[in-house]
Amino acid sequence: MLLKDARFVLTPGKVLENESIVVEDRRIKSIGESDKKGKVIDASNYAVLPGLVNMHTHVSMNLFRGVSDDKELQSWLEEEIWPLEEKLDGEKCYWGAMHAFVEMIKTGTTCFNDMYFFMDKVAEAADKIGIRGYLGHGMLDMGDEYKREEELEEASRVAEELSENFSDRINPTVTPHSCEICSEELLLRAKELANKHEAPLHMHLAETHGEVEKVLKEKGKRPVEHLKDLGLLDEQFVGAHGVHLTEKDIKILSGENATVVHNPCSNMKLASGVAPVSEMLQKNLNVSLGTDGVASNNNLNMFEEMKFTALLQKLSRSDSTSMPLNEVVKTSSENAGRALNEKIGKVEEGYLADLILVDIDSIGMTPLNSLKSNLVYSGAKVDTSIINGEVVMEDGKVKGVDEQRIKKRVEEISSELVS
């Protein structure tokens, strides 16, 4: 495949102009050549970017868009979300996930990192549509031994299923929910499972004051220190939210080469707080971005997450120089590749060809005085999406799926759930 004469190419070092990209065997073969073998895409009116990576979400929750607003987190969970989740099954989660994947691809996401339920059905949807995914069964036991064994058995089954029966785009993760509602035994065995599969260990971390206070009361230490003492922190660890991290917490996480996923829109909607992202980056802690689920966002648009990441840090610190454009862009793609230990998130030779083409002639992208500024602050119209070297969306239309059927089915399921 040849992306011919791209007006802009966003590489790690700089923005290139009027360059072509050759894709071969799922990877970026070269930048700057004009090999015309295979499919040729005229990219002269586009900016070529690395595909965005949504590092923390719950895709099947697209079924719950708009079901509960203006509530604090615990009430939102206990009164609205948990009762709805009890009604879920594999088919419902499949359609919720398929709906999410169409939304993601249309807004530039080429890879997602998910924890939820019925994950083999979510993997089935991801495999069909062509998106790259990291998936794990969300575990919690609240100290109940029977529940613990049940959760670990399902997590292990899902990890084996994803490893053996799906394409190389589909990858297992291990996903205990949080220190707050997972026993030490569950956390330790989750780490063993992650090591067995050489998979990320993905969990919520210091999302709310209540979580931190509960762990402090029960363990005599904060969640980060608790996890470190259990041996869970290393380069495989992916902690979602990290809103209430101290300077000491950040230093520990950075020293262990862990990753924190910032979810600004969800954190704002649930009033969880403002994560100290600028401080994390200053301490060389790897930070990536996620949307969280649609029930607490209410969309999966990673361009919005970039904008709010920049604005929140500037506002909370009263410092307009905080969170410069280069750092924001890295959190949306490059840093995620580091977290997942995968060659994604960069337009660079040898990297997997997960690429998006943004229309630079759209009204929101003109005038174009700065490509990065427009992408972060103005948003973007994504025309084409390439994942694993395959075109999955062209001219704004996702291939191989009936979008109207997906929307209709999700409307039916959602109505059934909330009735």
Question: What does CATH list as the number for 2-50+346-398?
Answer: 2.30.40.10
Q: What region does 117 belong to: left with phi over 0, alpha with psi -120 to 50, or beta?
A: beta
Burial class (CB within 10 angstroms; exposed 0-12, middle 13-18, buried 19+) of 366? exposed
| Spatial separation of the C-alpha atoms in residues 154 and 61, rounded to whole Å | 20
ω into 298 cis (within 30 of 0) = yes
The answer to whether the beta carbons of residues 162 and 172 sit under 8 Å apart is yes
| Residue 159 pLDDT level (bands cut at 50, 70, 90) | very high
| Mean pLDDT calculated for residue range 176-202 | 97
Residue 281 tokens read as 């980056």
Measured N-to-C along each axis, helices 119-129 and 90-106 cross at an angle, to the nearest 10 degrees, of 40
pLDDT exceeds cutoff 80 at 392: yes
**Whole-number percent of the chain with pLDDT over 90:** 93
Q: Do β-strands 27-31 and 15-24 pair in parallel, antiparallel, or remain unpaired?
A: antiparallel
| Mean pLDDT calculated for residue range 336-362 | 97
> Closest Cα to residue 242, out of 199, 197, 273, 281?
273
Q: Where are the beta strands (DSSP E) in 140-257?
A: 170-172, 175-176, 201-205, 237-241
∠ Cα 403 4 14 (to 5°) = 95
pLDDT at residue 404, as a whole number: 97
What confidence tens digit (pLDDT) does each residue in 87-131 have?
999 999 999 999 999 999 999 999 999 999 999 999 999 999 999
Q: Residue 400: CB partners within 8 Å, gap ≥ 6?
A: 128, 129, 130, 392
Average pLDDT, the chain: 96
Strand partners, 393: 385, 398
ω into 264 cis (within 30 of 0) = no
pLDDT at residue 288, as a whole number: 98
| Mean pLDDT calculated for residue range 138-152 | 96
What confidence tens digit (pLDDT) does each residue in 296-333 have?
999 999 999 999 999 999 999 999 999 999 999 999 99
What confidence tens digit (pLDDT) does each residue in 248-282 have?
999 999 999 999 999 999 999 999 999 999 999 99
What residue ranges do the domains of the chain occupy?
Answer: 2-50+346-398, 52-340
Grouping H, G, I as helix, E, B as strand and the rest as coil, residue 168 is: coil
Tell me if the pTM is above 0.85: yes
User: Residue 190 belongs to what H/E stretch?
Assistant: helix 184-197
| Residue 2 pLDDT level (bands cut at 50, 70, 90) | very high
| Residue 419 pLDDT level (bands cut at 50, 70, 90) | confident
| Mean pLDDT calculated for residue range 57-66 | 96
Grouping H, G, I as helix, E, B as strand and the rest as coil, residue 301 is: coil
pLDDT at residue 265, as a whole number: 98
> Closest Cα to residue 55, out of 258, 287, 393, 346?
287
Q: Which residue has the tokens 């956390």?
A: 187
pLDDT at residue 74, as a whole number: 80
| Residue 7 pLDDT level (bands cut at 50, 70, 90) | very high
CATH superfamily, domain 52-340, is: Metal-dependent hydrolases (3.20.20.140)
| Mean pLDDT calculated for residue range 9-14 | 94
pLDDT at residue 291, as a whole number: 98
| Mean pLDDT calculated for residue range 199-213 | 97
Q: What region does 356 belong to: left with phi over 0, alpha with psi -120 to 50, or beta?
A: beta
pLDDT at residue 36, as a whole number: 65
What confidence tens digit (pLDDT) does each residue in 20-61 have?
999 999 999 999 877 667 899 999 999 999 999 999 999 999
Number of neighbouring beta carbons within 10 Å of residue 14:
8
User: Residue 109 belongs to what H/E stretch?
Assistant: strand 109-116
∠ Cα 413 414 417 (to 5°) = 85
Sign of CA dihedral 370, 372, 373, 377: positive
The answer to whether the beta carbons of residues 387 and 354 sit under 8 Å apart is yes
Phi, psi (5° rounding) for residue 213? -65, -40
Residue 326 tokens read as 């280069």
pLDDT at residue 35, as a whole number: 65
